[in-house]
């Protein structure tokens, strides 16, 4: 699993400043867990990953990081994951492409399609594992994000922040990152922002993108 720009944006954008316990659903190779551990030195992280190969890589990455004492990786489905103490923050870059044609490769199916984690399963898991005042963040393609937002709001979740990600000005958006909680906050309605990766030339990194990612991209 490659390190993707959109996942990096999620890891840098999610508000985890006051979090103490974070759950990473669909951890892949551990990118998001490592990023939030870097951002908040007081947080402990549980990361759940179904695919065994990704789980092994995530474990290696966590063990070899400066944050190894704060990250625990679990190789199981989130539907079967249970804890005694709930999480006050959840981040997830879940399987998407709810209706697209599937690949003949099973691992690609699990990583990119909702074969192993439907939106309904995800919403149930978040509701079960998040504290009553907790917040959670999700990354999806734009079309899937629209569908998911409607489902989440029908389930009682309140959208509090939304970031739409573009390659550059004039191009169609390709990702949507959303933050939900159970109750309306003081700054309701939703904080809605756009982020461009590149300037209009399509080559130079946008100033706002550089600012967001400066602690994670060595080239900045």
pLDDT in tens, 136-182: 999 999 999 999 999 999 999 999 999 999 999 999 999 999 999 99
Q: Which two tokens stand for residue 81?
A: 């994951």
What is the model's pLDDT at position 183?
Answer: 87
44-48 and 21-25 strand pairing: parallel
**How many C-beta atoms surround the C-beta of residue 194 within 10 A?**
12
Report the sign of the C-alpha dihedral through residues 180, 186, 190, 194, in that order: negative
Average pLDDT, the chain: 90
Q: Name, in order, each residue with C-beta under 8 angstroms of 203's C-beta and a sequence gap of 6 or more.
A: none
pLDDT of residue 31 exceeding 60: yes
pLDDT for 184: 78
Write out pLDDT tens, residues 74-120: 999 999 999 999 999 999 998 764 444 344 554 544 444 445 689 99
Ordered by start, the domain boundaries in the chain are 5-213
Handedness of CA 78, 64, 140, 17 (dihedral sign): positive
CA distance 185 to 135: 11
CA 160 – CA 111 distance, rounded (Å): 27
* Nearest partner of 3 among 46, 54, 76, judged by Cα: 54
Tell me the CATH architecture of domain 5-213.
3-Layer(aba) Sandwich (3.40)
pTM flag (> 0.85): yes
**Peptide bond between residue 82 and the one before it cis (omega within 30 degrees of 0):** no
């Amino acid at each position: 699993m490659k390190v993707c720009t959109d996942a990096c944006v999620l890891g840098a954008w999610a508000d985890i400043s006051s979090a103490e316990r974070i759950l990473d659903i669909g951890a892949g190779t551990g990118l998001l867990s490592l990023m939030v551990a870097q951002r908040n030195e007081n947080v402990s992280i549980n990361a759940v990953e179904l695919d065994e190969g990704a789980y092994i890589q995530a474990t290696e990455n966590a063990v070899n990081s400066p944050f190894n004492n704060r990250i625990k990786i679990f190789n199981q489905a989130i539907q079967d994951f249970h804890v005694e103490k709930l999480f006050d923050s959840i981040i997830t870059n879940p399987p998407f492409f709810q209706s697209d044609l599937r690949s003949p490769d099973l691992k690609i199916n699990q990583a990119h399609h909702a074969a192993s984690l439907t939106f309904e399963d995800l919403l149930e898991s978040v509701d079960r594992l998040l504290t009553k005042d907790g917040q959670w963040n999700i990354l999806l393609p734009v079309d899937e994000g629209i569908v998911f937002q409607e489902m989440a709001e029908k389930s009682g979740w309140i959208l509090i922040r939304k970031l739409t990600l573009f390659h550059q000005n004039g191009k169609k958006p390709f990702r949507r990152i959303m933050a939900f909680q159970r109750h309306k906050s003081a700054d309701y309605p939703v904080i809605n922002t756009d982020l461009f990766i590149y300037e209009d030339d399509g080559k130079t990194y946008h100033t706002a993108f550089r600012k967001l990612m400066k602690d994670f991209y060595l080239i900045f």
